[in-house]
Chains A and B, each alone.
Chain A
C-alpha cells in the first residue's frame, strides 16, 4: 500500500504553477471542518475590526452618563459599561488593537495588530537563534540553548510581568514582551526542524557548492521549515491574545482609556455581583472565541498538512 500511496501522491502533487499550489493549499484547509470553523471565527474578528467605524455609531470613548451598566438593548446591542460606553464599539475597536493596528505613539500607527507584531518579532528572533544553534551546532548551540532554557524556566506570566514592569506599559512594550517570551519556544522548534533538515542531501549539495552558512540557513533550510512554523505561529497569536488579556486584567495592559479587552474584563468584574455582568462577559467571550478560533484553525491545518505530507 505504501508504494501505491506514493504513486498517487506524486501524481496528486503534479501542479503546474504557484497559483495552483496556493489553491491546493486552500482546498486542504477547507477540507478540515475544524479549520473551517476556526477560520470563520478569526475572519469574523478581522472583518469587524477592519470595518469597526461602519459597524457602530459610537466611538470607543463616547460616554453616556445616563446609561451606565445598561443591559443589551436596540441602541446598545451588547449593553454599556460603568462609564456608559458602548461595549460593542469598545470590543471591535479593541479587536483593531489586537489584529489590525499597532499604535507606536499618538502620531504613528503601524498596520498589523499588537499580537501579530509580537509573534512576528518572536518568529524573527527565534528563527535566527534556532537556525544558528541547529545548523552550526557546537558551542554556539550550547550557549544559545542554555540561555533560552534559563528563560523558559520562568513561568510565562511572571516573565510578562517582569518585562512590562521593567520597561513600562505601552503597545510597543507589549509587542516586545510577547516577542521575548515567545522566542525560546520558537527557537526550540526551529532548531529541531533544522536538525532534521540539515541531514538532507540538498544541504550537502549546497555545502559542496561552498555556499555560506548564512545562505544555507536562510535559503535552503528556512523555507522548508515553513509549514510547521506557520501552524505554530498561529497558535502563538492565540497565546499572545491571551497574554494581552491577562496583562490588561492585571492592569499592565494598554493604558486606559484604550479599549483593551483585558482591562475591560478587570473593570467590568466589579459590577458582576451588582447585577450587570455584561461589561465583563463580552470581552471574555471575545478573547476566548478568538483564541479558540486560532487554535481550531491551526490544529485543522496541522492535521491536513500531516495527512498530505
Chain B
C-alpha cells in the first residue's frame, strides 16, 4: 500500500470521468457514468459489483469493443500517458499496439478448437513480433512453463478440448502474456472453474503480478477472490463507482452502505444458519434507463437513505487517505450498529438442536452405483463382442438421511454429486445398490414410480434461465404440479398458486408474467415454489444459488431456510461453494470421483480431523477476509477419468498426505481405504489413522 501511494511512476492506465452509453430501443441509455480510477505497474485493481453494474462495459470501453451501438460519451482514458478517447480505430491500434490484453470468463471461447495450442500461441508471436516459427515455438513453451503448465512441450501439440478447464485458462493467460502487455484485463477468469482449479489460477495471477510487473484489472463479483488477489478495489453499483479503497481498508472499514450490504450477504466460512444470518440487500439493481440520475443510485435500496439522498447526487469524496466513497454519510455510518429494517424478509430464527435428533431415516441409500455405458470405438463392439466400458459416475455410495435434516454434498465438478441426485429422483437408472425413500423402493425410473411417491420427492434446479418453460406464464407453471398431483381441488388451484407466490415473496401480479420478464433470482424463487407446490417430504437442490448474484443468493438461501422450517422438509443440498454448504447444511458429505470420502455433521467437517481431500478443498476456498490465513495446499493434476478410476483409494493420485503413511502410501494404491469413525456420526474414508489426521492443523485461521 505504501508502495502504491509513493509510486513516482505515472499510472499505466488512468480513467477519468468515463461515461459510456448504448443506443437501445429506449433511446440513448447511459450504462456507465463518470468512472475514474487508475492502474499502476505491478498492481491489481479489483472491479467488483453485481451483474448489470457496468463492470464489463468499463473493460470494453478501455478496449474500444463497445460494439456498433455503444459509445464513450465523455471522459478520458489515458494509456501510458496517451489519450485513447476520440481516436480512430487505426490510431488506437498503433497507440495501444499489443500492450493491452484481455482474458475472458470462458477459456473455450477464447481458443480456436481446430488449432493446436502450439499453433495458437506461436501465431501471436509470429504476427506481432515477426519472429521465426521455431523461435516462436520455443518462446511459447517458455511461457507455458511460466504459467506452471505441467508437461508444456506436449501440451503444445494438443487441441483445446484435450485440456481441462484450468489448463485452458492457463493457456489463455499465457497467450495474453506473450506480448508482455503493460495492462491485462481479466473478466471473471475463474468463475467457470472449480475451487481447486480456481485457487491454482489465482496463485498464478499473484505470481504474474510479481514476475511481469503488469498492471491488472480484475473484474469479479466474488468478494473472496478480490480479497485474495487485489491490491486496490473499486466497487461499482448501477454504473457508478461507489467506493474505492485499498484491499485491507475495504474489508476492515467498508464505507458505502452497498459495500457493507454485500459483505452481509455472503456466509463466512464456518458460520451456520443457527448462529448467524444472511442479510440480502432488498430490491434489485435498477436497469440502466431506470436509474435515478439526479440522486444517489443506491438510495432506493439503502437503509440509511434520507430525503437528501433522493434529491441530490452525492459526490465521490475521499474519507480516509486513499479511501473514497460516493455517499453523504460515509464515515458516519457504523456498520456494527446496523439492524435489519422491518420489511426485510429474514427466516424466523430456530434454536439449534443440541445434537442431530435421532429420527427415522427418510432416505436410505446403500452401496448405490450408477454407471454409464461408454460407447466403444472398437470394431468388435459393433457385433457386441467388445469389452464394455463404464463411466463410474456414482460408485458405491451409502447415505442415510434423517427426516427434517439438510444434507449438503460438496465436491468438484465431475465428482458425481449431480448424478447422485438424478439417480435418487429417478432420471438416471441405477446400476446396483438399493434406494429406499419413506420405506418404499426407489430403484425404478421416475416414469414407473407411483404418483404419490413422485409427489413427495421434488427438485430445485441450478440454472435460473432454463428452469422455467419460456412458453408459459409463471402461474401456469406453478399450477401444473398442483393439477397433476391433485394437491388441492381444481377450483382452489388459483388461490394456492397465489399463496405459493406469496410464500416465495413474489407479488400475485407475477401470475401472468412470462419467465423472460423475471430476473434470475425471481426465476429461482418460482422454481422453489414449483418444487414445494406438491408439499413434498424431501427436496433435492442441485446448486440452486450458484449462478446468482451474492445479494440474490442470500435472499434465496433465506427463503429456502424459511420454507424448510415451515414445512419440516428434508433437503439434499448440492453445491460447490463450501461456505454456503457449511452455512446451510446439518450434515455434509464430501464426494470425490463417485465416492463419499467424508461424512459428518457440518461443524465436524470443517475442523480436523479432515480427509486430505476435504483439507485441500478448504484451503482452496476464497475467503472474503484479507486478514485470514489459509494453509496453501494445492492438488496436482486433474480429477482422473471416471471411466478408469484409480485403484485402491480413488484419491491416491493427487493426495498430498500420502507421505504420512509408510512406503509413501503404497497401501493407498492397492487397497480400498477403510471408514475411520471419528465420532459415531463423523467418518472419513482414508488409510491414514485417525490419530494422525487429528494432528493436522486447521486450514484456516483468522486473526
Q: Which residues of A are interface residues toward B (Cβ below 8 A)?
A: 1-8, 10-17, 21, 200-202, 204-205, 207-213, 220, 223-224, 226
Contacts and interface: CB of A to CB of B under 8 A. Distances in A.
B163 interface: no
B427 interface: yes
Contacts of B469: 202, 220, 223-224
Nearest to B470: A224
Nearest to B467: A201
B31 A205 contact: no
B22 interface: yes
B132 to A, nearest CB: 37
B516 A4 contact: no
Contacts, number: 113
Contact of A224 (B56, B471, B512): B471
16 contacts: A1-B60, A1-B70, A3-B54, A8-B287, A10-B518, A11-B287, A13-B514, A15-B514, A201-B467, A204-B461, A205-B459, A207-B427, A208-B454, A209-B484, A210-B451, A211-B484
B466 interface: yes
A226 B426 CA distance: 29
Contacts of A1: 22, 56-57, 60, 65-67, 70
B368 to A, nearest CB: 18
Contacts of A5: 22
Contacts of B290: 11
B209 to A, nearest CB: 26
Residue among B65, B67, B289, B516 with the highest chain A CB neighbour number at 10 A: B516
Contacts of B530: 205
Residue among A6, A8, A223 with the highest chain B CB neighbour number at 10 A: A8
Contact of A13 (B55, B446, B480, B517): B517
Nearest to A14: B517
Given A1-B57, A201-B462, A208-B454, A6 B52 contact: yes
A3 B52 CA distance: 6
A202 B451 CA distance: 19
B29 interface: yes
Contacts of B70: 1
B451 A204 contact: no
Interface in B46-78: 51-52, 54-57, 60, 65-67, 70
A68 to B, nearest CB: 57
Given A208-B454, A209-B484, A210-B447, A4 B56 contact: yes
Residue among B65, B471, B512, B518 with the highest chain A CB neighbour number at 10 A: B471
A7 B512 contact: no
Contacts of A201: 461-463, 466-467
List the 6 closest pairs (A to B, CB-CB), nearest first.
A223-B471, A201-B461, A200-B466, A210-B454, A7-B52, A13-B516
B57 A4 contact: yes
B558 to A, nearest CB: 22
A15 B368 CA distance: 47
Given A4-B52, A13-B517, A17-B512, A209 B467 contact: no
B255 interface: no
A14 B427 CA distance: 34
Contacts of A202: 466-469, 477
Contact of B427 (A16, A208, A223): A208
A209 B517 contact: no
A15 B467 CA distance: 20
B449 interface: yes
Interface string B467-488: 1111110000100110011000
B324 interface: no
Nearest to B425: A208
A211 B455 CA distance: 11
Contacts of B67: 1
Contacts of B287: 7-8, 10-11
